[in-house]
Every structure is written in C-alpha cells, then in structure tokens.
Amino acid sequence: MAKQNTSTEELINLQNISFGYTKDKLILDNLNFKLKLSERIGLIGANGTGKTTLAFIILGLLTPQQGKVKLFGKICQTEKDFQQIRPKIGFVFQNADDQIIFPTVLEDVAFGPLNLGLSSEQALHKAENILKKLGIEHLKHRNIFNLSGGEKKLVSIAGVLAMSPKVLILDEPTIGLDEHSRAKLINILTKLDLSYFIISHDYDFLARTTQKQYILKNKTIFLDNTIVLHKHEHAHPLGYITHDHT
Amino acid sequence: MTLKGSETNLIWQNIDPRLKIVWVTIFSFYLASVNDLKVLLASLIFGLIFSRLSDFSFKEIIQKLKPINFFILFFWIILPFTTPGPQLHLKWFNISQTGLELCLVLTVKANSLMLFFIAFILSLPTSTLAYALQKLKVSPKLVYLFLFAYRYLFLLKEEKEKLMRSLKIKGFTPKTNLFTYKIYAYLLGLLILRAYEKGDRAHKALLLRGFNGTFYSLYVYKLTAKDFYCSLVFFLVLILFIWMM
C-alpha cells in the first residue's frame, strides 16, 4: 500500500514533452505538467496553441517526439500501457457528437461500463445511476438526434462518468452551451468528487470550477499568478424576471 | 432484464435477437422468390400482425412504409402501359393486364417484406442488433459498417446542410453551368474530408471508452422455451405459405 501512495498522489505527470505535427515545427516544446490528486486545474491558451493536442498526448492518442508521459505513477509508452490506464482518465470531447456512438441515450451511457466487463445488469444500473446524478434521467430512452446541445453535452459527460474515472479532462466544455446548461454544468462539476483538468476560454467558468489556472503559451505551460481570475456577475436578457441558476 | 414496453409486447421483445435475424432472413429470401399473389397477401397480413406485436404504432408503421411505396408508384405509372401481353381496352387507351398484375405483386411483395423487416429488425435496439450479428459470426467489419452508417449518416447530412447554408449565405444560386458543378465538386470533397475527420475522432472516442472490437448487448437474451415456441410459430407460418402455393 505504501508503494502505491506516491503513485496515487501524482495522477498525471508530463516530463519534457515536445510535439509537432510536422518534424520541423514543434507546437509543444519541453513542456512539464503535473496534476495531483484532488487538484482542479484550468488551462487557458489561444487557438492553435495545442491545448487539445496536449490532452491527446496525455491519453496516448498522439505520441510525443520527446519526453515521458507518467500516468498514475507509471510511465506509459506503448498502446498497451495506455489501454490499461485509459478507463481511469475520462475525456470529454469538445463536440459531443464525436463522443456519442449509439443512437439512444441509455445505450450510449452503458457502452463504457459494458466495455469494462460489467454484466449488462450492472451496466444498466450504473448508467441509470449516473443519469439520475446528472439530473437527466428523463432522457433515458430518447434518441440522440432529438437532443439539444446542452443535453448532448451532459449525455457525453454521463458516458464518461459511467466508467468511474479517477481524472476528468474536459475540452472546451462550455462551447455552445446556453446560460442555463452552463450553470448546470458548473453545479455538476463542483459537486463531483474527482480531480479534473479543464481546457477552456471561458475565464468565468474556470474561476467557478477550478482552483489553479495554467496558461499554454510559447509552446509551454506555466502557472501565471499575475492573472487573477474572478467571477463575473453576468448580465442577460430578461434578467429582471426572478430566476435561479441551478 | 427486459426492454420497456407494454405487457403484450414483452414476449416479442424478449425473443432472442439472433433468432429474429435468422427468421427474417429465411422469410425475406422465401418471399422474394414467390410471385403468387395469394401467398403474398397472406404474408402482408402476417407482416402487419408481427409489426403490431413490436412496439411500433400504426402511424409509425405507415410512416416507414411511405418511401418504398413512393418508389413503387413509378412502376404503376410505367409498367401498365409498356408491358406486352393481353390488353384491357378502356375508352382512350389500353392497359396491359400482365403489367397491372406485375405491379400488384411488386407492391404487395415490397410492403410485406418491409413489414417483416420492421417487425424483426427495426424493433431491436442498435447495440443489441450489433451484438446479435456478431454472435451469428457476421464479419466484424460489416457489423461496424452497419452500426456506424446508422449513426453517422445523420451527422453527415447535418454537415452537408451546414455547407449548403454557408453557400446560400454567400449568395450562391445553383445554375446549370460549369461554376455550379465546380462548387458541388468542392462540396463533395469537403464532405469526404469532414467524414474522414469525424471518423478519426469517432475512432479516438471508441478507444477512450474502452472499446476492444467486440460489442456487448445491454439486454440479456437466452435461448429458452419461448424462443422454441416462437420459432415453431414462424415455421408454421412458413409452411402455410408453402402450402398455399
């Protein structure tokens, strides 16, 4: 157990990562990054700086030219290494349509647990539990193409959470969400008992959901303490009508 | 574990999906080869009964039958006037009797085949169908192709609509000239590229969700006595068809 202790402390550890889609042009250069247990980190960066690329490297979908990817204290190099670790890292795609594979909600949410070797009864139970937890149980038998953007996002998150990951990586989760769905997502994320790492441009969203914010700039990542994120009181049409943000 | 649905539909829904696939294959091959109107009419009735046993309402069934009947309409327009053989003399024109019969056979056949398909295949959840096909040792590539075509055709259509919208916004009006064809060629090219990208992302998503090449069904089916009785019923229906000839 004592040996495992250090490994559970550091969930993600990237050491001297360099990566470029073409050989002569690196987009990540000598990058170091750590995510510890129960940390909630936000990652900000301009378009095309390689935020999603970074996430794909962590998940082993892209192989860096140089550097080490250490997940849960274990160095991962081959596809097989990553395959074992992947269920522990939940990745939520920017576009929910990329993530959702089956035409009905329940089937899709249960897909992950079934792949992990759960029996159909257990998988069904788990999927239903997650849907209840996210407050979208009523969508259970709905068809994916009749769902709104916000509902699709929540379904894709449910599909990831159903695999009981230890870490969650969210790629631009608020894109295309309205005020209500966004508030719902904030509420869900802050209540989760998970470490996560959010890639986003939505500063207000990051301020509400994360403790630390990193910046991806000049091909590397750094913690910028000079930038203080703060929550915005927001304005929206029909704001004078009494409403709540749950 | 059972699917949703009212009590009367439960038996139909709990039939082993493999059995359904096997029987629908037998029925469709048989019905496709039969040209006897009596048998086809009987199969139409059985098709209606079976599709009512599955969870579809009459309205949904009619909706699903629409496209195929629209297609058959063209046969009704052409065949009665062009087929050689004995002619029925109407006031101003002649109608071929064989053509008329051929159209009738075609219509009944297509509709009853479709009804059987609705009852046996469309009533299955997609993951279950993929799982059952896998269990029947259908090539995995075909199973993936089928499953992803089902989900991604819709997404591709959406993608096409997006592109068409952006064309319209830029003031594009299709005409019969080289420019229009060129634009359509670009459109098709873009669509293929986007489909490729989508496929790549779907592959990533599958990997991330622990997919290892085999599908598992969310619902459990076991071959039990009820499957035997249902098979017996299907067999008797088939015998009835053969006997009617």
Structural domain count of chain A: 1
Residue B228 confidence (pLDDT):
87
Could you tell me the two tokens for A32?
A: 């170091």
**Taking 70 as the threshold, does the pLDDT of residue A186 lie above it?**
yes
In a domain, A122, yes or no: yes
Residue of B nearest to A84 (CA): B210
* A216: containing domain: 2-222
In a domain, A171, yes or no: yes
Residues A114, B4: C-beta atoms closer than 8 Å: no
Judging by beta carbons within 10 Å of its beta carbon (0-12, 13-18, 19+), is residue A240 exposed, middle or buried?
exposed
Q: What is the domain-level CATH number for residue A95? A: 3.40.50.300
ipTM (interface pTM): 0.74
In a domain, A240, yes or no: no
Instruction: Quick: pLDDT tens for A138-163.
Output: 998 888 888 888 899 999 999 999 99
CA–CA gap between residue A110 and residue A25 (Å, rounded): 41
Once rounded to an integer, what is the mean pLDDT over residues B125-134? 85
Instruction: Quick: pLDDT tens for A34-59.
Output: 898 888 999 988 888 888 899 999 99
Chain A interface residues (partner B, CB cutoff 8 A):
56, 59, 61, 83, 86-87, 91, 93, 95, 97-99, 101-104, 106-107, 110-112, 114-116, 119-121, 123-124, 141, 144-145, 159-160, 163
Residue A4 confidence (pLDDT):
47
**Residue from B209, B211, B212, B222 whose CB has the most chain A CBs within 10 Å, to mutate:** B209
- High-pLDDT (> 90) share of chain A, %: 29
Give just the sign of the alpha carbon dihedral B75, B78, B80, B83: negative
Residues 6+ apart with CB under 8 A from B167: B183, B187
Residues A56, B204: C-beta atoms closer than 8 Å: yes
**Taking 80 as the threshold, does the pLDDT of residue A170 lie above it?**
yes
**pLDDT class of A228 with cuts at 50, 70, 90:** low
Residue B4 confidence (pLDDT):
47
Q: Which among A98, A124, A160 has the least Cβ separation from residue B202?
A: A98
Residues B209, A114: C-beta atoms closer than 8 Å: no
Instruction: Quick: pLDDT tens for A66-84.
Output: 999 999 988 998 888 888 8
**Taking 90 as the threshold, does the pLDDT of residue A243 lie above it?**
no
**Residue from A99, A100, A156 whose CB has the most chain B CBs within 10 Å, to mutate:** A99
In a domain, A230, yes or no: no
Instruction: Quick: pLDDT tens for B106-127.
Output: 999 999 999 999 999 888 888 7
**pLDDT class of A1 with cuts at 50, 70, 90:** very low
